[in-house]
Structure 1
Amino acid sequence: MLTANALSVTGTMLSILAVPWFVLETTGSAVLTGLASFATTLPIVISAALGGTLADRLGFRAVSVLSDLVSGVTVLAVPALFVTGGLSYPLLLALLFLRWLTATPGETARKAMLPELSTAAGVPIERATAAYDGVYRAAAMVGAPLAGVLILWLGPSVLLLVDGVTFLVSAALIAAGVPRVRRGRREPGGYLSGLRTGLAFLWRDRLQLSATAMIVVVNLLDTGVTQVLLALYAREVAADPRAFGLLTGVLGAGAVAGTIAYGTAGKRLPMRLTYGLCFLLAGVPRVLVLAMGVPLPAALAVTALSGFAAGAINPILGVLQYGRIPARMRARVIGAMTAAAYAGMPIGGLLAGSLTAVIGLGATLSAFTCVYLLISLPPFVCRAWRELDRSQPSEAFGQSIRD
């Protein structure tokens, strides 16, 4: 399952770079390239919110396989139609929309089947969630530079062929190598009823609602930092465009290392304190040093430390989700949380750019630092978060599986 997910994520990274390059090469229009980007981002939010309920009803493995098959065939259709002369721009937009609409439910389904697979394999849930997140981060980190090299070497059309093949291989691995998992009794009612049930469950669970709200805000801030403020820092403070890539790279490398460390020691760590400290260190220091205008080597060191702390956040969230969400509605609740986490990201870049134009780079970075600090407080001050102290993660997870 981890190998299949690594292939799927790598293919996604190839597609993220290949599609805009392909559109630019074939149309020469920046406006049409931007429209193609919109066609790839909107369906992610839609399918994350709605696809989870489908996975709960049809089964995690079935939806994972079906999602990868449809995504692979859709991606392969783009270069095939281009070569035969049957690819119009509206058809390209439709194919891109379908590709991203069908890919996200597969990712949700693979994440939802992780608890039962970790139990069957005899792997502690902390290690399983860390492995899942580590593979995801590593594949994304490797996929982006690999795509850049392959575009120059093979061209975007061939890159899309590789992307499609990765999905088909992922589907084959899940179908042949992953057993079906038990999801508990199926709830009565139709699709919309199941969707409402999942959303109602999330609304009643104040701990997970608080965790989701934290991720929404942080993803918004991270998008603004990554897509706007880091580039401005590299130009105006470091005076070196390579600083942008270096800061992004050490953050990702630190996150991979942090994920591995949590997978090794996470079972012995206090869950609430670990999550709170990691959340605080992941955001505040790396933006604060940028606001202070420190030399690039110091900024790189602090950014690597923040990345290391960030590596534990997603695995802890996974343990939290698996320990509290019933198996029969796991995919739809995780899907709703994922959709919420993605929803604020388009605003982040606009907010960062607008604030910088009005108050300047340093003041914007300082403002972002303050928000990072405030959004890190709930694990330390909110009563709902004390529930994490009542039992060890593995014990809570084991109880959820038995239920």
Structure 2
Amino acid sequence: MTARFPRSSPYWPVVSHPQLRRVLPGLAVSALGDGMAVVAVTWLAIDLAPADRRGIWIALAMAAYSVPSAVGTVVFGRLLRGRGGAQLAGWDAILRAGALAAIPVAHLAGVLTLGLYVVLLAASALLHSWGSAGRFTLIAELLPQRHHLPANALLGTIAGFATIVGPPLAGLLIGWAGPVWVIAIDAATFAALALTYRLALPTTDGVQRAERGASRTAGFAVIRRDPALLGLLLLSLGFFFLFGPVYVAMPIHITDDLHASATLLGIFYTAFGVGGLVGGLVAGYLRRWPLRATTIGIVVGFGATMLPLGLGAPLVVSLPAFALAGLIWAPYMSTSMALFQRSTSTAQLPAVLAANGAILVLAVPLGTMLGGPLVGAVGARPTLLFCAVAIVALGLIAGGFAISRRSAGTPGGSRRNARTPGGPTGTEVSARR
């Protein structure tokens, strides 16, 4: 007899898993806190900074809240490589909770300066790549391969929902109590998440002890030796980097080209977020699609849906196209993480994912930095067109390489996995092809 919804849903094995279902509420609460923090971090920087230097301090605060994770990947590589997924994610949550909680404490003590604020934000982000790696490693540890993509998609959907609900909620709370207390709430959500990891999941630390003591850059070495993983990393790096200038070009396009207000910019971003939420839900149903081709197809499709903005299409065309871009964008992290989970042994996965995250966390900021001079040189709309065309070209080039490697009879990662202890079985390698 065919199972009925919700048991027929690809998400049912994830939400009904006896251990994951205990963690998901904590992840949802923490994601909502982070969604609020995006606004609060900026607003507190505005409150603390001199009026003539607000732009610089906003940029520093936002960079401090994410970029130091790249440093943490290398600095703590030898200590954290080989730890279990729950332990890595839990330590990240503890550090974020403690560092963020120090901000309202310093505020109450009257010692919160701009310098201290940025330092505490940077400290909170040091283990972020390891924490993200821990979450996806936990999925690989607890679920069979066929459920990895729906589980990844569920994490993405939770984050997508938080990006829609969190900012307006933060706006209300900032108006009522101030940004420092929204950051305090974010710290409390991470404390709740850390407690969830500690109480809901067993300690499996002894499984991977043999991996410890390796090089701090072992994750980067694994990626470098595997052409398929290296190609995936380069694709993601290029994809995110080329999207970075959009954050600069979009506001200027709205104000200078369309002669509209910030309200229209908010509508565009809301449309993108709603599309992303739908795309995140759809991602779980792509588990029978060829993952590598799907991941490359997402890049091409996203670039194509950005073309109307760059070509100056009317609002009735460009706004739905931007929402469709959000829908197409959303499954990318789910499918790319599933490729890493399939191509890497559980013992190596945390270090590999942390290395991947450390590089990708720099991609969008670097692209955004490029956006300033690019918009200044050619204008906002041509910049949007350049990004769209470049992303399509990137996807087509990646597709060409994938086809040529397949034709040459060297499917990604099969030789490496055949000789890697604890790697995927022959059946799993065949499924990857």
TM tier, smaller:
0.7 to 0.9
- Change in Cα spacing, 1:221 to 1:7, as seen in structure 2 (3 Å) is same
The structure where helix makes up a greater share of residues is 1
Which residue of structure 1 aligns with residue 395 of structure 2? 376
Deviations 1:344-378 (A, max 9, x none): 32221232221222223333233222211111124
Identity of aligned residues (%): 23
- Change in Cα spacing, 1:234 to 1:198, as seen in structure 2 (3 Å) is same
Q: Distance in 2 between matches of 1:372 and 1:140?
A: 24
Task: Look up the equivalent residue of 1:186 and give its one-letter code.
Answer: R
Which residue of structure 2 aligns with residue 352 of structure 1? 371
- Change in Cα spacing, 1:89 to 1:398, as seen in structure 2 (3 Å) is farther
Deviations 1:152-202 (A, max 9, x none): 122112212211110111111111112345785433662xx3333322210
- Once the two structures are superposed, the pairs formed by residues 53-202 of structure 1 within 5 Å of their partners are 54-119=79-144, 124-181=147-204, 185-187=208-210, 190=213, 193-202=214-223
> Which is further off, 177-186 or 160-169?
177-186
| Corresponding position: 1:308 with 2:308 | no
Deviations 1:64-93 (A, max 9, x none): 222212221221121122112233443333
Match of 2:310 among 256, 269, 291: 291
Q: Distance in 2 between matches of 1:214 and 1:300?
A: 26
Q: Distance in 2 between matches of 1:203 and 1:140?
A: 33
Q: Distance in 1 between matches of 2:198 and 2:190?
A: 12
2:276–2:329 contact (8 Å) kept in structure 1 = yes
1:323–1:398 contact (8 Å) kept in structure 2 = no
Task: Look up the equivalent residue of 1:259 and give its one-letter code.
Answer: G
Which residue of structure 2 aligns with residue 220 of structure 1? 241
- Once the two structures are superposed, the pairs formed by residues 360-399 of structure 1 within 5 Å of their partners are 360-383=379-402, 386=406, 387=411, 399=428
Deviation at 1:223, TM superposition (A): 1.7
Deviation at 1:379, TM superposition (A): 4.5
Task: Look up the equivalent residue of 2:64 and give its one-letter code.
Answer: A
1:53–1:329 contact (8 Å) kept in structure 2 = no
| Corresponding position: 1:320 with 2:343 | no
- Change in Cα spacing, 1:259 to 1:388, as seen in structure 2 (3 Å) is farther
Q: Distance in 2 between matches of 1:90 and 1:367?
A: 37
Q: Secondary structure, in 3 states, of the residue corresponding to 2:241? A: helix
- Change in Cα spacing, 1:211 to 1:397, as seen in structure 2 (3 Å) is farther
Which residue of structure 2 aligns with residue 278 of structure 1? 298
> Which is further off, 237-246 or 309-318?
237-246
Q: Distance in 1 between matches of 2:276 and 2:59?
A: 30
Q: Distance in 1 between matches of 2:185 and 2:426?
A: 38
1:112–1:330 contact (8 Å) kept in structure 2 = yes
Deviation at 1:239, TM superposition (A): 2.2
Deviations 1:216-251 (A, max 9, x none): 1121121211x2111122113332222211222212
Q: Distance in 2 between matches of 1:148 and 1:321?
A: 37
Q: Distance in 2 between matches of 1:396 and 1:302?
A: 42
Which residue of structure 2 aligns with residue 9 of structure 1? 31
1:247–1:303 contact (8 Å) kept in structure 2 = yes
- Change in Cα spacing, 1:375 to 1:260, as seen in structure 2 (3 Å) is same
Which residue of structure 2 aligns with residue 266 of structure 1? 286
Match of 1:249 among 256, 270, 279: 270
Q: Distance in 2 between matches of 1:65 and 1:337?
A: 19
Deviation at 1:308, TM superposition (A): 1.6
Which TM-score applies when normalising by structure 1? 0.87
Which residue of structure 2 aligns with residue 46 of structure 1? 71
- Change in Cα spacing, 1:272 to 1:32, as seen in structure 2 (3 Å) is closer
Deviation at 1:100, TM superposition (A): 1.6
Deviations 1:292-345 (A, max 9, x none): 111112111111222222222111112101111111111111111111112232
Which residue of structure 2 aligns with residue 233 of structure 1? 253
Task: Look up the equivalent residue of 1:314 and give its one-letter code.
Answer: M
Match of 1:333 among 342, 352, 372: 352
> Which is further off, 61-70 or 227-236?
61-70
> Which is further off, 128-137 or 18-27?
18-27
Name stretches of at least 5 consecutive residues in structure 2 with no aligned partner: 1-22, 415-423
2:84–2:208 contact (8 Å) kept in structure 1 = no
Deviation at 1:43, TM superposition (A): 1.0
2:73–2:127 contact (8 Å) kept in structure 1 = no
Deviations 1:111-157 (A, max 9, x none): 221112224xx972221121122112222332222222211122112
2:78–2:212 contact (8 Å) kept in structure 1 = no
Task: Look up the equivalent residue of 1:75 and give its one-letter code.
Answer: L
Q: Distance in 1 between matches of 2:206 and 2:344?
A: 11
Name stretches of at least 5 consecutive residues in structure 1 with no aligned partner: none
Deviation at 1:205, TM superposition (A): 1.3
